[in-house]
Amino acid sequence: MQPIILDGDGLARNIRARLAAEILRMRRSGITPSLATVLVGNDPASEAYIARKHADCHELGIASREVRLPGAVSGKELAHHIDRLNADPSVHGFLVQLPLPPHLDDSRFIARVDPSKDIDGLHPENLGKLLGGEPSILPCTPAGVLALLQHHDVPLAGRNVVIIGRGALVGRPLAMLLSIKGVDATVTLAHSRSTDLDQITVRADVVISATGVKDLVREHMVRPGAAVVGVGIHRSESGEILSDIAPCVQRRAAWLTPPHGSVGALTRAMLLKNLLKLVAMRSA
């Protein structure tokens, strides 16, 4: 049987349409949501992500501003730009695109963003609320993965979910999100030092891979009828985008993300959802 495709692009379109209606209402009441991005250096993948975020803003009627800094920028200078955005009342929310160049510590600069402008949901205060079981601004990719699974009615309560990858952007916050009251999954967080990974994943009802290792999840690692989500992507030398999930997994999975991955558009939709939430929280 062919798996049900977990179509993140389609769901992101639906979410954007709902957000567009909300933005229109805000604009009619005199508030134009406004977002800023900070990009350090010229990593091509980060440039592409930032360009898509600004295109989304343009499409939906969100004001957006781009701060671009050279790859060799000092920590002091980057901090100064973050402080300016924190203090600027015309900016409702912003993000610092990650990863930063090696001489700048990602977590130090994320912590410098005012949590009430943290559209990424990655500030320690916002992560702390998630850890405490009362999330406010959710990290975007984990929120997108949950929305994708819920939209396709993949059962989560009481089910075994294995997440592969313990990164700060996806794996660790996703483990927290899927195990909070109301979602109620039993979560295993596997990583590069986990032994017998295939023995862990083959027992799972849901396997989510966020590593960027091409074809990491193969057919024998998946229980027939499981849901399999590829979050990580890998760019081949020819520029093709490939997911963590090997194509043969489609013979076993009941739900499956497409071969090119499917979560990027959802991450961006969640970013805009966070922005609107911060606008509403500010005017409440």
User: Token pair for residue 24?
Assistant: 């229109």
The only residue of 120, 161, 246, 275 in contact with ligand GUN, by rule CB under 6 A: 120
Facing residues of 27 across strands?
none
The only residue of 34, 243, 267, 274 in contact with ligand GUN, by rule CB under 6 A: 267
Stretch that binds ligand GUN, among 50-58, 91-99, 150-158, 218-226 (CB under 6 A): 91-99
Q: Decide if 201 contacts 253 (C-beta within 8 A).
A: no
At 113, the amino acid letter reads: V
| Residue 140 in contact with ligand GUN, rule: CB under 6 A | yes
User: Token pair for residue 120?
Assistant: 């990424």
| Residue 169 in contact with ligand GUN, rule: CB under 6 A | yes
Element housing 177 (H / E): helix 171-179
* Smallest distance from ligand GUN to CB 90, Å: 21
Site string for ligand GUN, 44-83 (x = CB under 6 A): ----------------------------------------
Element housing 64 (H / E): strand 63-69
* Smallest distance from ligand GUN to CB 169, Å: 5
* Smallest distance from ligand GUN to CB 45, Å: 8
Element housing 163 (H / E): strand 160-164
| Residue 209 in contact with ligand GUN, rule: CB under 6 A | no
Alpha-carbon distance 42 to 168, whole Å? 22
Alpha-carbon distance 125 to 50, whole Å? 24
Residues that are catalytic = 53, 97, 120
Site size with ligand GUN, rule: CB under 6 A = 9
Reference 203, options 175, 218, 224; nearest CA is 224
Alpha-carbon distance 54 to 272, whole Å? 11
For ligand GUN, the closer of residues 97 and 211 by Cβ is 97
**Cβ atoms within 10 A of the Cβ of 93, count?**
27
Unique residue bearing structure tokens 């109301």: 182
For ligand GUN, the closer of residues 3 and 121 by Cβ is 121
| Residue 174 in contact with ligand GUN, rule: CB under 6 A | no
Reference 154, options 280, 275, 46, 4; nearest CA is 4
Stretch that binds ligand GUN, among 21-29, 93-101, 203-211, 216-224 (CB under 6 A): 93-101
For ligand GUN, the closer of residues 124 and 225 by Cβ is 124
| Residue 95 in contact with ligand GUN, rule: CB under 6 A | yes
* Smallest distance from ligand GUN to CB 140, Å: 5
Q: Decide if 246 contacts 256 (C-beta within 8 A).
A: no
* Smallest distance from ligand GUN to CB 123, Å: 11
* Smallest distance from ligand GUN to CB 145, Å: 12
All residues at 6 or more sequence positions from 145 whose CB lies less than 8 Å from its CB, including other chains: 170, 174, 208, 229, 231, 263, 266
Stretch that binds ligand GUN, among 96-104, 153-161, 178-186, 226-234 (CB under 6 A): 96-104
Q: Which residues bind ligand GUN (CB under 6 A)?
A: 95-98, 120, 140-141, 169, 267
